[in-house]
Amino acid sequence: MGGIDRTKDWKKVIMHVDMDAFFASVETRNVPHLKGKPVIVGGDARYRSVVSTCSYEARRFGVHSGMPIAKAKRLCPHGIYISGNLRGYVHDAAVLISIFEEYTPIVEPFSIDEAMLDITGCHRIYGTVENMAKQLKAEINGRLSLTCSVGIAPARMIAKMASGENKPDGITIMDREDFKRIYFPRPVDALWGIGEKTRIALNNMGIYTVADLVERRQKKKGGYPIETDSELSALSRGLESTSVYSINNLPREKSMSHETTLVADLRDINRIYSTLLLLSDKVARRLRRGNYVGRTVSIKIRSSDFTTITRDRTLTSPTDQSKIIFENAKKLVPVKYGLKTAVRLLGVKVSHLSKKCEYTQLSLLSSGNRRKMNLSSRVIDSIRDRYGESIIKLGGTGI
């Protein structure tokens, strides 16, 4: 590309940085004799764990992220299976953020191993965006001995997909015309955010490729498997929001949730309830950390035959309290679960969030019991902040 600036007519220049097989690469860097071998990072197969990340050597056997460890072992029995070191990964992720912030002040962490950077204007210091990407990649490799793949585009979604085009260790610059040429002929689930269930639903509507989706964007169909037709239409054309948010300027949370796949299917309703209590406590803790309260409590239940249901109820007053979230979650569990139907997965979610300071009635009209509950939660939070989450457990969560 030489010195040509392909981005000169773009309103925004967005860079997506995606670390290559992050967890597995960290393990290989730390233990050099693992280089060139199929490394799979995940939990114990006995506990329904899944693959967190695997090396490219493992991927040749069909192993991929999110796959059950038990299946990975069938596909790659001679692979090297590692439970992982979260503390080490978090340290490297923090170093990555510090590197990104040397190139632009607008850095939005996407996950522990990827981030969006708004580099509009900043890239001119380096001549071209390609020069900037090369220097950033070199710095990451020099400081962490890790590689990454970079996508550069005028919109977040295109940048995200561009970073996957030349993995590992690649740089891809993709404008909207490139996106049309490359992605329109591809299956509809090539789009970021379209999973298997959505693909099946769209296929049933006669939509198989991204181009099919674009052609049908004006036709509203019942049973659409996402929030709005316009959202999916925008994604298919690469026209979604270009905004990137720094850590201190993230948009308001829409919901907070926790879920768990159980070690063994549960038929004991009391153990189902105790799991819901544990999940409710985790959600409440996150709400209080973010200074949020929520008005809607939802549960997710997946049975042993993989049938999944969700139920929700709206509260008269928003809350951030474990007890209130749990009591409402408990009432949402259909009678058959635990009696006739075994449970494989449980989840709790609180939505319709607002900042606590916006809901002044919470403090003005609180009952004595509510005030005691709030005070108790603050004390428990302070102890956990100092000594760790496991130092205090709610009665009934000993599962």
Q: At 60, is the secondary structure helix, strand, or coil?
A: coil
The set of long-range contacts for 65-74, using a CB threshold of 8 Å and a minimum separation of 24, is: 69/40, 69/42, 69/43, 69/44, 69/45, 70/45, 72/40, 72/42, 73/45
Residue 231 catalytic? Answer: no
Q: Is 87 exposed, middle or buried (0-12, 13-18, 19+ CB in 10 A)?
A: exposed
What single string gives the DSSP state of each residue in 169-197?
A: S-EEE--HHHHHHHHTTSBGGGSTT--HH
Whole-angstrom Cα distance, residue 113 to residue 22? Answer: 6
- Residue 148 CB neighbours (<10 A): 27
For 71, 214, 380, the CA distances from 67, given in Å and listed in that order, are 7, 31, 36
Active-site option among 57, 114, 130, 240: 114
Q: How many residues does the chain have?
A: 399
Q: At 201, is the secondary structure helix, strand, or coil?
A: helix
For residues 378 and 278, the answer to whether their CB atoms sit within 8 Å is no
Catalytic center residues: 114
